[in-house]
Amino acid sequence: MIVTTAAGISRVDADVLGAARLDGAHGLRLARSVELPMAAPSILAGLRTDSRFSFTGAVVGEMVTGGDGLGLTLTSAQHSADVTGMFAAIALLAACAVCVTLFGLFERRAERASTGKAPNDETGRALRRKAERAERQRPKAGLTAKGRLVRI
């Protein structure tokens, strides 16, 4: 997470930082109002990735070495053939996975806020340009007053 945060802050546009400094922002105010909002997509991507790894590591670690968490609950329910206990532990793990997936929604919102566009806007724009080019290259035809077909 530290690496993605540092990468996000280092990728902040120098022109934006210069403009903020001209407006009088410096130090903590510059970090709070310019650098962190523009680095938010990278920070949230790091949070999403690291939280997935931490949940996985915690559950697997508890299953292997023992502990008082979901890993132990899942393993003991498996060994005692307690189907309801296993499904309860799996449902809790699925709820944790859904919470981690919500980081992706916040990440998209932060990307939209920091750049003014959605992450996949470039692809949509490229497809629209390609369709417009194909439309321009298509031969056009029309009818004259006498009903003859002619190229325009």
- How distant, in Å, are the alpha carbons of 60, 66, 94, 118 from that of 72? 9, 6, 16, 42
6: pLDDT confidence band, cut at 50, 70 and 90? confident
Q: What is the reported pLDDT for 141? A: 59
Kindly report the average pLDDT of the chain as a whole number.
77
How many Å apart are CA 17 and CA 13, to the nearest integer?
A: 7
Question: Residue 94 — pLDDT band, cuts 50, 70, 90?
Answer: confident
Among residues 117, 135, 113, the alpha carbon closest in space to that of 125 is found at: 117
pLDDT in tens, 59-90: 888 777 777 777 788 888 888 888 888 888 88
Whole-angstrom distance, CA of residue 9 vs CA of residue 114: 12
Residue range 17-25: average pLDDT? 82
pLDDT tens, residue by residue, 97-127? 888 778 777 777 777 776 665 555 555 566 6
* Full-model pTM: 0.54
